[in-house]
Every structure is written in structure tokens, then in C-alpha cells.
Amino acid sequence: MTKTTHRAPAGTAPVLGVRALNRATLDRQLLLRRSADLSVGDAVAHLVGLQAQNVKPPYHALAARLEDFDPAGLSALLESRDLVRMVTMRSTIHLHTAADARTLRPLVQGALERELSAFRKGLAGVDLTALAALAREAVEAEPRTPKQLRELLLVRWPDADPQSLGIAARCTLPLVQVTPRGLWRRGGQVALTTVAAWLGGDEGTVPAPDDTVLRYLGAFGPASVKDLQTWAGLTRMREVFERLRPGLRTFRDENGVELFDLPDAPRPDPDTPAPPRFLPEFDNLLLSHADRARVVPAAYKGRTWKGNVSYPVFLLDGFLAGVWRLTQDTEGGTALLTIEPFEPSGPSEPDTSGRRGKRGGPLGRGQREELTREAERMLTRIAGASSSYDIRFGTVIDA
């Protein structure tokens, strides 16, 4: 079947250029200016969750978005179970409010179950209903690590693929990662139980998707139907947008693709200044649109990844401009933040890690000063255990 992209009829909707889309999205992502009013919990709700495959990214993401962010505040909300870590959109771990854990997971449940078609061979002869019941009984008796859960399921289905069994449990059950996993400077291995066991009450029911579409537009709009589907991992969402159309505004991008938006959502002037921002690996800003040109210049597409590894990135003038890495010596009390622009400006030289790349880009003095100030601000929040900081401009990682 040939896929088609819906295009607005010429002349029927205002055109939003790349910079206009960039500024609108940054504003809603709390990246055009940091919020001084939103609490950590309210920010996570507004952003409809944060990517959280690793422990640190949600902390780095909020440090870039909230004026007075304190990592201990996020950690406390995980301990109190007001926030949870679980698989939702795109079958990836997200940090969500407890309320969203009960609604967003049921919304994407069908997509997660469809994912299992890729593991049919490893699950031959496995009754998924029985698997879900056995896994639920095990993790609700006590939280289990993924390895423990796989081993338990193998007793029942010894001929199945262990990895496929673990994925089947993750896709059929709403499993959350219990603390201390995810806590600031404490950490711990992944251990799983169900939403109902961790939060109490039921696990929620499948909601009408309308509210989630509106929330997505509030955090990522203006956006197309395909953008929403990319963010959520859902399909056939056109009819939802059509149902909502009377209450929405419509635009088109420079390629003629129809975009939807909340009528009163901010759409700043394209020339609005955008300060530098340091974002974590897997930040949703870079993953939540089918067309990422509003943030990622064409020349840099794919340069923040190497295999399955994603690098932390930084923005200049609102657009992806390079990567960064932070190394900390907890015993010595020092932290080193290396800023690596993409644009080359000199011959290839080895960096301190032994990798080779091109010397950092031709940043102007003003840009370096802005990046340094932003880096210092970030370090005071996320490298608090270090007594001294060093900020350097290094080499581009060849992704």
C-alpha cells in the first residue's frame, strides 16, 4: 500500500516556515524561555512525559526548561510515586505523572501488542494471556528484575526465546520501574511491578484519544497527523484530527503539509531570540515529529546517533548545532563538560578519548560566551557533587 501525506489545498491556510515552527515548538517545550512558574510535576504533565531510557536524561531535560530546577525535587516525586518510569510512547521508557501512567499506557497498548509480531518466532507456542497472568502474579508478589522475570517465564516455556519472553511481558503488562531506580545520585538496577501494585487502584481504561492529541499540540505543535503518530507510535489518527478540526487552527508548512494547532497557542515571531540549550540524549524535542527540520538542519540529520547510542545535544539559535559530554571524577570532585560543534574548522586531530574527529566548529566569540554561560548554569544544577568545573570546546563525534 502506498503511503500518502495529506497536503492542504494551496492558498487555503497560512504557511509556517521552518523558523516559525522552530520558535513555536521551543516556546511550548519551555526552551525559548525557562518557566519560573511550573512545578516539576506540572512540567512533566505539560510535556506529556520525558524520555527516560537512562536515569539522567529527565534531570538534564528539566534543568534546561525550569528556572529553579532542583534534581532532588524530581527524585522526591519518584519516591512519593507521584512520578513513574514506564514503557509508553514508541515502546520506550518515559517519565510520567501517576495520572498519565493510567491513561497514556492504555492508549498505546494496542501499538505495544502489535510490536510482538516481530517476535513471533521466539514466542512460538506461548499463550500470551497465560504469560501476562504469570508475569503479573510474579511482579505483584515482589518487584522482579527483567532477568528474574525471564527466568521465571522460561520455566513455563523452556523452548521460547528468553528475550522475546521479556518483551512480551513488557508489552502485555503496564510495568513500572520501581525506585530506587531513577533517583538522583542513588540509582539501582531495574526492577518491575505493575501500575496497580505501585500506585494502588486500577490500571486505567483506554481513553478517547482526543485529549491526548490536544495535549500533544500544546507541547509540540503546530503539527501534522503524521507528527502525532510518530510521537505516540499510533496509527490511523486522521479521524481524530478531523473530529477536532472545528476547534483547531490549520496551517501548512513549506512543503504544503497540513498542520493543526490549538487556536490560542503561542506562535512567536520567527526572529525571536532563542538562547543556547543543552539537552539530554533521547530528548523528545528531536524525536516527536515525522519531519524534524524544525529543529534538525538537513546537514546534521543522523549525526546525534551511533548505532543504538544517542548523544546529548545542544541548540544554537534554536537548532541542533552539536553534541556535548560530561565526565565527573566523584573522588576528585571535578567535572569536565566538553562542547563539540558539528561544523568543522580545521584538520583532523585526536581528542583525549582517543577518537578522531574534526576540530570544533567556527563559533563566534559571542556564541562561545553564551554556550559557556549556559554550561555553567547547567553544571551548578546537575554536577552539584563536584567542587570544580571545566568547560572545553572539543571535537565533533563522528556519528
Q: What is the pLDDT of residues 294-308, one digit of tens each?
A: 999 999 988 888 777
Among residues 125, 146, 129, the alpha carbon closest in space to that of 193 is found at 146
pLDDT band of residue 75 (cuts 50, 70, 90) is very high
* 226 grid coordinates: 503524521
The pLDDT assigned to 7 comes to 55
Q: How large is the average pLDDT for residues 70-83? A: 97
Could you check whether the bond before residue 180 is cis, i.e. omega within 30 degrees of 0?
Answer: yes
Q: How large is the average pLDDT for residues 17-31? A: 98
Position with higher pLDDT, 6 vs 141? 141
- Determine contact, residues 91/112, Cβ cutoff 8 Å: yes
Lowest mean pLDDT among 44-48, 93-97, 189-193, 342-346: 342-346
Q: How large is the average pLDDT for residues 364-374? A: 93
Q: Residue 281 CB: number of other CB atoms within 10 A?
A: 20
* 313 grid coordinates: 545535544
The pLDDT assigned to 14 comes to 95
293 burial level (CB within 10 Å; 0-12, 13-18, 19+):
middle
pLDDT band of residue 343 (cuts 50, 70, 90) is confident
DSSP string, 326-363: EEEETTTTEEEEEEEESS--S-EEE-TTS-EEEBPP--
Rounded CA-CA distance 395/332 in Å is: 25
The pLDDT assigned to 172 comes to 96
Rounded CA-CA distance 219/209 in Å is: 16
For residues 97-128, one letter each, b for 16 or more C-beta atoms within 10 angstroms of the residue's C-beta and e for the rest, the string is bbebbbbbbbbbbebbeebbeebeebbeebee
DSSP string, 143-194: -B-HHHHHHHHHHH-TTS-HHHHHHHHHHHS-EEEPTTTT-TTT-----EEE
Residue carrying the nine cell digits 582517543 = 354
Amino acid letter for position 128: L
The pLDDT assigned to 108 comes to 95
User: Does residue 279 surpass a pLDDT of 90?
Assistant: yes
Position with higher pLDDT, 361 vs 232? 232
Q: How large is the average pLDDT for residues 110-133? A: 94
The model carries a pTM of: 0.90
The pLDDT assigned to 250 comes to 98
Q: Give the residue ranges of DSSP H helices in the chain.
A: 18-28, 40-46, 57-63, 71-79, 98-115, 128-141, 146-156, 162-172, 195-199, 210-220, 225-232, 238-244, 365-382
pLDDT band of residue 11 (cuts 50, 70, 90) is low
- Determine contact, residues 48/19, Cβ cutoff 8 Å: no
Strands 319-329 and 313-316: antiparallel
Sequence-separated (6 or more) residues with CB below 8 Å from residue 117? none
The pLDDT assigned to 359 comes to 36
Q: What is the pLDDT of residues 165-221, one digit of tens each?
A: 999 999 999 999 999 999 998 878 999 999 999 999 888 788 889 999 999 999 999
* 382 grid coordinates: 546537575
Q: What is the DSSP letter of 86?
A: E
Rounded CA-CA distance 370/380 in Å is: 16
The pLDDT assigned to 207 comes to 83
* 117 grid coordinates: 509480531
Q: How large is the average pLDDT for residues 224-253? A: 97
The pLDDT assigned to 322 comes to 95
Rounded CA-CA distance 245/63 in Å is: 35
Q: How large is the average pLDDT for residues 123-131? A: 96
Position with higher pLDDT, 364 vs 230? 230
The pLDDT assigned to 360 comes to 42
The pLDDT assigned to 4 comes to 52
The pLDDT assigned to 205 comes to 82
The pLDDT assigned to 104 comes to 95
